[in-house]
Structure 1
Amino acid sequence: MKEFSYQRPRQVREALAAVAGNDGARFLGGGTNLVDLMKDGIETPTRLVDVRRLPLDGVLEAPGGGLVVGATTTNSDLAAHPEVRRRYAALSQAVLAGASGQLRNMATVGGNLLQRTRCGYFTDLSQPCNKRSPGSGCSAIAGEHHNHAILGWSDHCVATHPSDMSVALAAFDAVVHYETLDGTHEIPLSEFYLPVGESPQRETALPPEALITAVTLPAAAANPQSRYRKVRERASYAFATVSVAAAMDVHEGIVQGVRIALGGLASRPWRAHVAEAALRDAPATADRFRAAAEAELRAARPLRDNAYKVTLASNLIEAVLTELAHPAV
């Protein structure tokens, strides 16, 4: 690991000033991703600015309803918060599915949003990777890609986004708040993650030197009938092969409202707008759920070894929606 300086500011403006004009500076939250990348030589910051002591912790009621989650709130505190569990249950479930208790106690909400892909070629300095070294190529396309993207990928990158939390946030139309030396800003999560395109190394729309300060969960998205389900290659804590975050309102057997986001299938959380449109005002039946899932997945472009994800995702969407339509008493 290369030598670096370390600062621990107590105010947001102090933290922003510490990274201003320094391309080698990085904000440090829990460090559960960044420190690993530093050990592997993927990240080589010259300065770490520890944000854990900034006044950005906690879950508060938002004006007009909803919740505001501070960026330094730990994943454990987010998952355990009673209002998150009551109004946005899929978010709590997603966080609990994402890592061990020890990691959740350290990891922060802001850091979770910015974690990098776990593609093996990204973390292997001996292999070409456009995310790590733009223009070098994507080793996964012709190599080991059984757990890579089937939606929204490009010839430049087929890696998937690793966050469970972000999938649930996508389903709930979360908004990311950030601050720069120019002031405060916000961006919908639907616009926060960029399409992979020709520049896979640029993963978010967050401006350089910006600091995430909070995430808002809108009141309109609150729904106690929500679920997060995750399929992974082992029962212990592993990244999603496919995951589904969904919320659904059913009245007299008809779908009145539905939200679906998918994980493990693309370079960013994938909001299933096609499936949602197919389900609104339709009967809440297994046949309709499967047809909606298949409609969403027609856009899939499987690689040589990951076509199984299409069937797996379809089955998982149907299972989650069926569970929401017929909750256990």
Structure 2
Amino acid sequence: MNIKTITTAALLAGAAAIFTPSHATAQEYVLKVSAPIPPTEKDSVYAWMLAFEKGVEASSNGQIDVQLFPANQLGQLPAAVEGVSMGTIEVSFSIIGFFSSLDPRFQVLDAGGLFDSPEHAMQALQQPESRAMLAEFGKSAGVRPLVMVIDGQGVIVSKNPISTVADFKGLKVRTGGATPLLTKPLAAMGAAPIAMPLGEVVPGLQTGTIDAATNSMAVVNGFKMADVAKNVTYLPGNYTTVGAVVNTAFLERIGPDLAAIVLDEAQKAESVIFDHLAKTPMQEAAWEAAGGQVIRFNDAEQENYLSVTNPIVAEIISANLQMQSDFDVLKAAAAK
């Protein structure tokens, strides 16, 4: 073969490469996941994010590039939540209270008194009827729940010890949203609830903007809150629900096959949550090692707390037909 023949063959091969579709270079989509928590595998949400990233990228053969943005890198709540609704962020994590700006139905997940333990709450949320109900949340805002998990029993971190219901009186308490199920029980105990994004809690405790903040053991450890407030008290009957919503236009854009992978891998990654719930004693030990103390109400104070909070929760729920219906679905799932 002479030089002219070789050159002609090379040109033809190059043209074929340009004009022939290649199945090896499939469309790649970017899926950004925003979260307020720090990037540590000791946190159950971040562990879920890592498992989700690995699962989606493997199952999609690299067609979906999952990018994780913990520690409010894409903005503080609730701006990051709004970003999912607008489509500038594909997925955003939040404590449930901040999702009520997208759909008030989310607030039912803040109702206390439904579950006996974090594990019981997780199992109830995984029941088919719970998943079917949750899939309807957020439709009008262009989102749908991707995952709803329990981050542990609810706690309140405070500068001064809280060991009785009376100790709430006069405290300025951060809440993860401004919904009645979060604010009214606190107000009934004499506290002043203040809705505040997670990233503002430590500065708020330092400056005295707040005296205490509700959250979970994993989060108070992750943010090293023992540096500014030494006391953490378990809240009877309260389990911290956190979740992520995904932009529905993104799911439509990537097509049904890839969308099914995203939703399926989100559920598969829930297994890591149970692993972290089993490590609660380690979370308590870490808090104490940092100089903090863990407080539990005695039996009389537990009854006192629930006698104040449970009637308020029941009143709020019964006043809203949709919330009552959603609550009944969760109650039935819990009964299983």
TM more than 0.5: no
TM-score where L is the length of structure 2:
0.28
More helix by share: 2
TM-score where L is the length of structure 1:
0.28
Indicate the structure (1 or 2) with the bigger Cα radius of gyration. 2
RCO comparison, higher one (Cα < 8 Å, 6+): 2
